[in-house]
Amino acid sequence: MRYEAEVKIENRFLTERTRIKIYREVAISIVKELPIDKLKQLFNLKVVCGFKRDLEEAYRDNDRQKATQIQRLIKDNSSLFTG
């Protein structure tokens, strides 16, 4: 009985790893086909989302200096956002 449970867990883990690998391969193939300007837009979106997540974390940690720096970067349209 224990062996069957171990096999099920191992199969689930391998299935998850395979799924992640397939998603990565598909994402890479999509990115390869994108024009440069669209790729920059995707990168900027990722950066903006990352900054917003960092900003929420700074507020949660009550780190005013970090929050102010992140707000300034977002407000000033840092070169990362403009491409």
pLDDT tens, position by position, 20-64: 888 888 888 887 887 878 777 777 666 667 777 888 888 888 888
Residues 41 and 76 in one domain: yes
Residues 42 and 62 in one domain: yes
Residues 45 and 77 in one domain: yes
Structure tokens at 8: 């099920």
Residues 47 and 82 in one domain: yes
Q: Say if pTM beats, i.e. exceeds, 0.85.
A: no
Residues 67 and 56 in one domain: yes
Buried b (16+ CB within 10 A) or exposed e, 45-68: eeeeeebeeebeebeeeeeeeebe
How many folded domains does the chain comprise? 2
Report the distance separating Cα 48 and Cα 51, nearest Å.
Answer: 5
Residues 47 and 81 in one domain: yes
Structural domain for 62, as ranges:
36-83
